[in-house]
């Protein structure tokens, strides 16, 4: 198991390959649809962002409200393709990683290659497990968006899978292909 800590540098990113399992420790910034629209609006207008994207990792999540005594509620990944329109602009400003689930568009993959960035998958539909593993959560921007506000999360050894690496290798293509090849070879035997 590969251990990753933030800041998530290009050196760490380039060493990862699609299919690697990693344990992620450090800071994640939450942002999904509405927060991405605001981040890119700020970039377009030349205003500062609420966090420095350089070597940062964004987690696509809209958590449930925390119960008393808990730092956060359920917090699994949301589907990433809805952020595709916004991701290249953030990647070009140094964003090093994204955590979500599901397919990404060609423009995002191209921006990842150009900027040495990694797309990680968290297991969709396991928000209770992930929520329980989050150590701290603090709203840092766009509080009016509720669940879609930007939060700074601290996580310790959060299990993630490298889905698309800095060379553009994609586990969503490689994984099913390898499975089918193995299954066919077994049938033929």
Q: What residues line the site for another protein (CB under 8 A)?
A: 34, 61-67, 70, 73-76, 78-79, 81, 101-103, 121, 123-129, 131-132, 145-148, 161, 171-172, 174-180, 182-183
Q: How many CA atoms lie within 13 A of 146 on its CB side?
A: 3
Of 8 and 59, which CB lies nearer to another protein in the complex structure?
Answer: 59
Of 78 and 166, which CB lies nearer to another protein in the complex structure?
Answer: 78
Cβ 180 to another protein, closest distance in Å?
Answer: 4
d(CA 174, CA 185): 16
Of 56 and 61, which CB lies nearer to another protein in the complex structure?
Answer: 61
Of 52 and 173, which CB lies nearer to another protein in the complex structure?
Answer: 173
Cβ 163 to another protein, closest distance in Å?
Answer: 8
Burial-class residue 155 by CB neighbours within 10 Å (0-12, 13-18, 19+): buried
d(CA 55, CA 29): 12
**How far from chain centre, in Å, is Cα 99?**
1
Token pair recorded at residue 12:
């760490």
């Amino acid at each position: 198991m590969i251990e990753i800590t933030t800041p998530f540098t290009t050196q760490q990113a380039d060493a990862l390959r699609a299919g690697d399992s990693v344990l992620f420790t450090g800071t994640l910034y939450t942002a999904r649809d509405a927060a991405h629209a605001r981040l890119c609006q700020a970039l377009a207008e030349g205003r500062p962002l609420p966090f420095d994207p350089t070597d940062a990792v964004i987690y696509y999540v809209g958590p449930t409200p925390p119960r008393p005594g808990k730092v956060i509620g359920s917090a699994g990944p949301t589907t990433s393709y809805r952020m595709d329109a916004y991701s290249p602009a953030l990647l070009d400003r140094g964003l090093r990683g994204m955590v979500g689930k599901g397919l990404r568009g060609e423009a995002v993959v191209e921006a990842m290659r150009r900027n040495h960035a990694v797309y990680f998958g968290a297991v969709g539909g396991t928000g209770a497990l992930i929520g329980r593993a989050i150590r701290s959560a603090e709203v840092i921007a766009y509080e009016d968006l509720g669940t879609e506000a930007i939060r700074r999360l601290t996580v310790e050894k959060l299990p993630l899978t490298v889905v698309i690496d800095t060379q553009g290798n994609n586990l969503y293509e490689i994984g099913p292909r390898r499975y089918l090849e193995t299954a066919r070879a077994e049938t033929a035997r």
